[in-house]
Amino acid sequence: MEQTDRREFLKASAAGLAAVVLTRNVLGETLIVGEGEPFPELVEVTIAELHEKLKTGKLTARRLAEMYIERIKQIDTKTRSVLEINPDALTIADKLDKEIKRGKFRSTMHGIPVLIKDNIDTADKMLTTAGSLALVDAPTPKQDAFVAAQLRKAGAVILGKTNLSEWANFRGNRSISGWSGRGGQTNNPYWLDQNPSGSSSGSGVSVSANLTAAAIGTETNGSIISPAVTNGVVGLKPTVGLVSRSGIIPISHSQDTAGPMTRSVADAAIMLSAIAGTDKNDPATAEADKRKAKDYAKFLDLNGLKAARLGLLTSPPQRNLDAWKAYWEPLFDKLRQAGATLVEVKLPEMPQTFAADRMALMQFEFKANLNKYLAARGAKYKTLADLIKFNEENKDKELSKFGQELFIESEARGDLTDKSYLDAVARLHKQTREDGIDALLDQNKLDALVGPFGQLVGVSAIAGYPSIVVPMGLREVPAAPASGNLPASPASTQTAGMMFVGTAWSEPKLIKYAYAFEQLTKGRVTPQFLPTNQRK
């Protein structure tokens, strides 16, 4: 069923919010969600629609928060995406309702419940732990992270904290996406036995499962974009420096950023407007106020792809090529039909030093940045070395599933004046910016790059450049026999996403292209919490 039909169904209900919702299941079939579903009127609802209900008095902020909390209590027993609910959420909602009665709306986000990842400081009754048991008893942060403060300033209700891959997936050479010592395993909402991807797994799952209006994730290297694709939502990774990292448990100041995870591009634009801005505590944001748009929603243009010149990057699989083409080529044609010119391009081959350099950059910066954060936090464990020792002493709870090799290797690194670190940073930025994304854009006179989720992720993350991914629903992947070094693989159904990437500060263009494409394709599929993806 088309998304516009669902919207009309919602608008036509007598109370403004329907008792049941028409949507699609993982097979693309029309589905009525209602019986046994707590508050089905929240399924696929947008921030703009909720804002209208609040504005016209058909909903209160308190009632909306209560509805989402009930959905979390009933549904998240399956997905385990929410670590804790903010005990002050309803009190905050009551205060916002009083402002509404006086005719005051701080922004479109006023009264809208959101969830934030558990590596974002909040100076309240919730914990901030990055999923680690080592920080469960740490002192409450002295102040909100800038992102959390911006959300509160916009009138959002921070409903709770989401689970994540512990330490944002930077602990061991192996890891289990969506697992943390504190939160256990977060489950994929489409098939509960499948990987939810990380590290912003809880944020992606909670949005996809309609447990919140929107969420905040963080990314160093794919941690917004990958779980957005895997959980069928929109993920927007901003330019490093557009959104402050102060008060966010760090990995790499060269690559870290927070960003929106939502069910629609429009909601991502609204969220980005709320959180972008200059913060004196994060030097990378010095230009943010000058560079940011006051309202990113103004770039939501149905005709946004008209006359766009986009570089198409594809990486077809070694097997099942015909099935891959049958799925993706009609989507490339939709871009063309919408008025975009597609120019097939390739990223340059990266030198042999590339992988070692990117790991060195993250390890050097992780050690320096985390030690600084822990010292300011005043926790019992004040250094990375302390955390390594804690994990060894609590290995039955923390190291039972995978190790802490990245912790140990990072601890062995020097400081940020080390020549090997400085040289790695310089090489990586030249390879991914000047000789990478910017070269492709300039040489081919392109506005942005586009392609299936894949090779663009790491390059844009290292460059610190923005990206946005639009959910394409699900695609059938045929079984493949063993061939060469490739093992046999069973038939499967997989989520898919189309990714748009640009140069620094190009969020307006990316939002425009992504929105136009989203409205053409309407690929988002509502998950139904099936127990397994295994075929009988």
The mean pLDDT of 183-203, rounded to a whole number, is: 97
Cα separation, 250 vs 253, whole angstroms = 7
Q: What number is the average pLDDT over the span 341-358? A: 96
CA 446 to chain centre: 26
Q: Are residues 89 and 35 in the same domain?
A: no
Confidence of residue 37 (pLDDT cuts 50, 70, 90): confident
Q: State mean pLDDT over 237-247.
A: 98
pLDDT band at 352 (very low <50, low <70, confident <90, very high): very high
Indicate which residues carry an active-site annotation: 117, 199, 223
Residue 63 within any structural domain of the chain: yes
Residue 454 confidence (pLDDT) = 85
As a whole number, mean pLDDT of residues 233-252 equals 98
Number of residues that this document lists for the chain: 536
Q: Are residues 280 and 180 in the same domain?
A: yes
Domain for residue 172, yes or no? Answer: yes
For residues 463 and 438, give the distance between their C-alpha atoms in angstroms, rounded to a whole number: 10
pLDDT given at position 426: 98
Q: What are the pLDDT digits (tens) for 493-516?
A: 999 999 999 999 999 999 999 999
Max distance between CA atoms of the chain, in angstroms, equals: 70
Instruction: Answer yes or no: do 10 and 150 share one domain.
Output: no
Would you place residue 14 in the very low, low, confident or very high pLDDT band (cuts 50, 70, 90)?
very low
Q: Is residue 460 part of a domain?
A: no
How many Å apart are CA 403 and CA 61, to the nearest integer?
43
Residue 258, pLDDT above cutoff 60:
yes
What confidence score (pLDDT) does residue 469 get? 98
Measured CA angle at 218 (ends 308, 7), to 5 deg? 60
pLDDT of 483: 87
**Does residue 330 carry a pLDDT above 50?**
yes
Confidence at 29, pLDDT banded by 50, 70, 90: low
Give the residue from 266, 299, 332 where a domain finishes: 299
CA–CA distance, 163 with 144 (Å, rounded to integer): 18
Nearest to 523, CA basis, from 453, 474, 452, 450: 474
Mean of the pLDDT values across residues 71-85?
Answer: 98
Residue 536 has pLDDT above 60, yes or no: no
Specify whether the CB–CB gap between 233 and 201 falls below 8 A. no
Ranked by mean pLDDT, which of 9-18, 100-109, 313-322, 480-489 comes out on top? 100-109
* Location of structure tokens 């707590």: 38
Residues 51 and 199 in one domain: yes
Average pLDDT, integer, range 61-78:
98
Asked whether residue 27 falls in the same domain as residue 155, the answer is: no
Closest among 285, 267, 239 to 506, alpha carbons compared? 239
Establish if 362 belongs to a structural domain. no
Do both 62 and 32 map to the same domain?
no
Same domain, 276 and 212: yes
Q: Does residue 239 belong to any structural domain of this protein?
A: yes
Q: Residue 24: which pLDDT band, with cuts at 50, 70 and 90? A: low
Do 122 and 30 share a domain, yes or no?
Answer: no
DSSP 42: G
**Whether residue 150 sits in one domain with residue 15:** no
Q: What phi and psi values does residue 187 have, to the nearest 5 degrees?
A: -110, 145
Between CA 377 and CA 142 the distance in angstroms is 8
Looking at the fold, whether 28 and 175 belong to one and the same domain comes out as: no
- State the pLDDT at residue 5: 37
> What pLDDT sits at residue 35?
56
Residue 535 has a pLDDT of 62
Q: Are residues 36 and 89 in the same domain?
A: no
Tell me: the pLDDT tens digits for 390-438?
999 999 999 999 999 999 999 999 999 999 999 999 999 999 999 999 9
Whole-number percent of the chain with pLDDT over 90: 90
- Distance between CA atoms of residues 155 and 421, nearest Å: 41
Q: What is the pLDDT of residue 26?
A: 47
pLDDT of residue 230: 98
Characterize the bridge pairing of strands 467-477 and 492-501. antiparallel
The answer to whether the pTM exceeds 0.85 is yes
Number of domains forming the structure of the chain:
2
Task: Give the position of tokens 């049941």.
Answer: 20
Of 299, 316, 347, at which residue does a domain stop?
Answer: 299
User: Does pLDDT of 12 surpass 50?
Assistant: no
pLDDT at 52 over 50: yes
Enclosing domain of residue 18: 1-42
In a domain, 391, yes or no: no
- Give residue 110's region: left, alpha or beta (phi > 0; psi -120 to 50): beta
In a domain, 171, yes or no: yes
Q: Do 114 and 199 sit in the same domain of this protein? A: yes
Residue 17 pLDDT greater than 50, yes or no? no
Domain harbouring 62, CATH code: 3.90.1300.10
Out of 241, 276, 299, pick the residue that ends a domain. 299
